[in-house]
A and B are shown apart, each in its own frame.
Chain A
Amino acid sequence: MTGAVGAWQAIDWLLALVGLWLLIGVAGLLALRRFDFVARVLFPLGGVVALLVAVVALAAINAPAQSLVMAIGLPSLPFHFRLDALAAFFLVVIGVTTAGVSVFAAGYFRQGEGTPPGLLCLEYHLFVASMVLVVLADDAYAFMVMWETMALSSFFLVTANHRIPEIRSAGYLYLLIAHVGAIGILLCFGVLQANTGDYTFANMRLQELTPFASSLAVLLALFGFGAKAGLVPLHVWLPEAHPAAPSPVSALMSAVMLKTAVYGFLRVSLDLLHTPIWWWGVLLLLIGLLTALFGVVFAAVQTDMKRLLAYSSIENIGLLFAGIGLTLLFSAYDMKPMAALALTAVLYHVASHAMFKSLLFVATGSVMHATAERSLGKLGGLIRFMPWVAWLSLLAVLASAGLPPFGGFVSEWLLLQGFLFTPQLPSSILQMLVPTMAALIALISALSGYTMVKFFGVVFLGQPRERKLHDAHPAGWWERAGMLWLGLGCIALGLLPVQVIGYIDAVTQQLVAAGIGASVAEHGWLLVPVALERASYGPAVFLLGVLLCFALAYLLVRALYHGRVRRAPPWDCGFPLQDARMQDTAEGFGQPIRHIFGPAFRMQRVLPSPFDREPKYAVTVTDHFWHWLYLPVAALTERVARLVGRLQQGRISIYLLYSFVTLIVTLLLVH
């Protein structure tokens, strides 16, 4: 960082903004228990900084890449940073999402809940700062340091309410899988530097790896980043950690932190490596679609709001990796425009998922504050008590269900376009396989609609299932403002795909040397990815059409007939006895899914005998992977640990003997 402020480049500004975040964090630490100052001043300030990050990154997305070397850390290992289009795009997503979530957090955190507010403020800003630096890192060393900072700071955020044992064990699981994944990433970088000993990304880009080495690197990256992103079977931490964390933190983790894993995988597979092999794409497509289907099926049977959303995040991550797989497949066969189309769909979904999922998570936060309930079975009817939260959640729900004219639909539409036009693929098996996968995508998106109707309908509609819900208080203004920002993001992504893709174009140009921006820009408000006669979609016209029909119908009905309305008790086919407990429950909504996808679940039912005085019914649905993978691995680890434990004799002479033997063996080896 040299020269006057006037000569500063975007990357200098970004690092300065990251520094500001750290300052805010330190200020929080100094004002450890001054709740009002931390919540009402520091968090909104952090949100403003996040917005500035987004603005600076957006301005830099079309600019040439900028690099910077900072001599901090170990003596001969400076940090390299680089801002290119890919990094800038993810920074925009991080910035915009964090801005909304920080403003929400200003009204969310309450006094006297677990970690003191000032410490929470430090951890929170360290977390966002490390995410920005992960994206900016340009050597393996800086990347890993920031990656670990991100994992650790988020671990402390997850365990903010560390007095509850479940939260501690959820945090432990998260930390464990994050670190197992980090080993994969570290080894991947080891392969990528190809024995040159130079761990900068610039050096890795220059290496021409053998197909074996590059495949090994991709598999390691898939393992490492997949553990962070939540690909099956490394997904088990998500449904535990997301409900444990405070809502703004789960929002950031789900909406942004998972995306840094997507970023990392894109960086390795398309930037650091440059000759993709076709089977990488097929492998990713299969794993991605399996993850997505698994996630959405499990989301549909959940009875806890935040677990439901966590599984829905697994679904979206699966779709993203399937899209990356399609990109790799197309670029392996040098079909650049199609690869650009698939990559655009992936990046678009990154942005829209960040918006709607963070909005949904913060909304659950407001609901939990108002009702002290997380279980879907005890909620209901909240649209009457907290209309802001309900209507803004409806936006996110529609976007998440992939319905036009919202953001989720645009990315799904682009992805399906990518899947449909594969006749140019040289292998006939792939020609058949890929469109069949489009069928799975269709099923997954329809199921996500089911899940979202369940989520919104059970939480916000109907009658309150508990008496105390009548006292639910609406969300405060800070919370509303944060949610409104994210809701506007959902709307903008739905209605302005042409403008957004104009920015994404720079990224696809960088990664696959092609883009659909030029074709899109030609047609004004109409989204035309390839050619007008092939496919087009105009969300603004679409929305106008629906609204016009809506308005005309309304006005005509009012003009031609009277508009009288009477209020009466619900009819319900004339059944006289009805109360809130007779509504369909979350379990009821899950029942058809459990019926149809039975083999996917591990179900335990508790049914009473006919003579029970107090009959109890219960069904618990768990994940096969626990029993197939995790419990055996845990048992094996314990067994190995017990074997190793035998070395431990507790006598100093034995330990001295160990040291002596080790020394002799080492000397022999060195000699």
Chain B
Amino acid sequence: MSAHAVISQVLAVVVALALAPLLSGWVNQCRAWLQNKSAPGLLQPFRLLHKLFNKDSVLAEHASPLFRASPYVVFGCMVLACAIIPSLSTTLLLAPAADAIALVGLFALARVFISLAAMDVGTAFGSLGARREMLVGFLAEPALLIVLFTTAMIASSTSLSAIVQTLSAGSPVISPSLVFAGVAFTMVSLAENARVPVDNPATHLELTMIHEALILEYSGRHLALLEWAASLKLFAYSCIGLALFFPWGINVSDSPLGLLLALPVLLGKLLIGGALLALLETISAKMRIFRVPEFLGTAFMIAVLAMLVHMLLGS
């Protein structure tokens, strides 16, 4: 247990907690500009969290303890996920405890809890949202796993740190299998983070909503935790994508200087990534819910293709 591992671990968690709402704010800002609207401030998500934490939490009359515990479980899962993703450094204290497969399991655990919580109150919207969330989940999860498997085969390891180390040591020319994997990963991330074209984070009271339907019954601090967890999830997916496909700048050595340098590089990459996400959301339209299986099925097939390309070409 080196001091470096402890420091980079703590830094990773703190950076994730601080940057995640900012990333959501940045994406919202970019989207507003692209749509010719005046944008809210960058700190708007923090203001929202602060407001929600100060409010009373209104629970449905017959909500069970599962309903009250779920926001904390989901939040805990997302913080742990951000802790094991090598966003700044590959030397992480918790990295050996969870590899790529466990990371996917962690996301699945959070999804199962939020879906169960949505079913707990027993309203029409809640159970509808739970069903749709699990639908998106069971289609997206295998695709995500195959993307991670492809990179795991390149590195002959399922440990995220080892994967990032191998990928960042590779040539800067991106290999064909990684291109396919990247496309599949982008599609999965859009679905998993409830973004257009699968879900629309800006709407409410729409019959096609998924994420908003799940958290409909939450309020006050519970809602704040879930919103924070949602932005942590976006941050986590962005960091996985950046670490797998643009790994440059992530500190692979034990030098403190590298760790300090990694932060501005990450910020730059997130700025560009967030702007691209906003662009993607602006130029595409939301699809009907029955098209989602096709969309994610395509992502799955592209991911399998990436794996086959890797095995055929060995790259």
A contact set with B: CB distance below 8 Å? 380-381, 383-384, 394, 398, 401-404, 409, 413, 416-417, 420-421, 423, 431-432, 435-436, 438-439, 442-443, 446-447, 449-450, 452-454, 456-458, 461-463, 526, 532-538, 541-542, 545-550, 553-554, 557, 560-573, 575, 578, 580, 582-584, 588-589, 592, 595-596
Contacts and interface: CB of A to CB of B under 8 A. Distances in A.
A308 B99 CA distance: 32
A553 B225 contact: yes
Contact of B158 (A462, A526, A535): A535
B125 interface: yes
Contact of B304 (A436, A526, A557, A561): A436
B102 A404 contact: yes
A541 B115 CA distance: 25
Given A584-B131, A592-B293, A446 B137 contact: yes
Contacts of A569: 60-61
Contact of A457 (B99, B108, B119): B119
Shortest Cβ-Cβ A-B pairs, 9 listed: A462-B122, A584-B127, A549-B76, A538-B97, A463-B122, A541-B97, A442-B142, A457-B119, A572-B123
Contact of B73 (A435, A461, A550, A572): A550
Contacts of B138: 443, 446-447, 449-450
B136 to A, nearest CB: 10
A403 B141 contact: no
B157 interface: yes
A118 B162 CA distance: 61
B64 A384 contact: yes
B83 interface: yes
Contacts of A456: 116
B109 A461 contact: no
20 contacts: A402-B105, A403-B112, A420-B152, A423-B153, A432-B308, A432-B311, A439-B304, A535-B157, A536-B99, A546-B76, A550-B76, A554-B72, A564-B56, A566-B56, A566-B59, A567-B59, A567-B60, A568-B58, A570-B122, A584-B124
Nearest to B138: A446
A416 B75 CA distance: 27
Contacts of B201: none
Interface string B219-252: 0110001000000000000000000000000000
Given A449-B141, A571-B216, 8 more contacts: A380-B122, A413-B102, A421-B156, A453-B115, A453-B116, A542-B80, A549-B77, A550-B73
A550 B74 CA distance: 9
Contacts of A450: 134-135, 137-138
Question: What interface size band does chain B fall in?
Answer: 35 or more
Contacts of A532: 96
Nearest to A447: B138
Contacts of B76: 545-550, 553
Nearest to A568: B58
A570 B115 contact: no
Interface in B73-132: 73, 75-77, 79-80, 83, 94, 96-99, 101-102, 105-106, 108-109, 111-112, 115-116, 119-128, 130-131
A409 B112 CA distance: 14
B216 to A, nearest CB: 6
A384 B62 contact: yes
B191 to A, nearest CB: 13
Contacts of B97: 526, 536-538, 541-542, 545
Nearest to B73: A550
B53 A571 contact: no
B311 A565 contact: no
A565 B71 CA distance: 15
A97 B162 CA distance: 39
B129 to A, nearest CB: 9
A404 B122 contact: no
A583 B77 CA distance: 28
A447 B136 CA distance: 11
A596 B127 CA distance: 19
A409 B145 CA distance: 14
Interface string B247-278: 00000000000000000000000000000000
B307 A557 contact: no
Interface string B142-173: 10011001001100111100100000000000
B174 interface: no
Contacts of A554: 72
Contacts of B96: 526, 532, 536, 538
A452 B113 CA distance: 12
A423 B152 CA distance: 12
Contact of A595 (B116, B128, B221, B293): B293
A560 B53 contact: yes
B94 A541 contact: yes
A534 B290 CA distance: 39
B205 interface: yes
A263 to B, nearest CB: 28
B66 interface: yes
Contact of A583 (B72, B124, B152): B124
Given A380-B122, A420-B152, A582-B124, A546 B73 contact: yes
A545 B80 contact: yes
B86 to A, nearest CB: 14
Given A381-B122, A404-B106, A573-B125, A566 B57 contact: yes
A272 B116 CA distance: 47
A588 B126 CA distance: 13
A409 B116 CA distance: 19
B114 to A, nearest CB: 10
A583 B105 contact: no
Given A561-B54, A561-B221, A572-B125, A461 B59 contact: no
B159 A536 contact: yes
B199 interface: no
Given A436-B308, A549-B79, A461 B119 contact: yes
B102 to A, nearest CB: 5
A647 to B, nearest CB: 56
B300 A583 contact: no
Which interface residue of B106, B216, B221 has the most chain A CB atoms within 10 A?
Answer: B221
A546 B77 contact: yes
B217 interface: yes
Contact of B61 (A547, A568, A582): A568
Which interface residue of A453, A454, A534 has the most chain B CB atoms within 10 A?
Answer: A453
A442 B112 contact: no
Contact of B60 (A402, A432, A570, A573): A570
Contacts of B220: 564-565
Contacts of B56: 562, 564-566
B110 to A, nearest CB: 10
A582 B135 CA distance: 20
A572 B63 CA distance: 13
Contact of A584 (B111, B128, B304): B128
A449 B308 contact: no
A383 B66 contact: yes
Nearest to B224: A557
A423 B127 CA distance: 44
A106 B77 CA distance: 39
B116 A567 contact: no
Given A538-B97, A541-B97, A435 B153 contact: yes
Contacts of B119: 453, 457-458, 461-462, 583-584
A446 B141 contact: yes
Contacts of B121: 462, 570
Contact of A589 (B54, B59, B131): B131
B127 A404 contact: no
Nearest to B95: A536
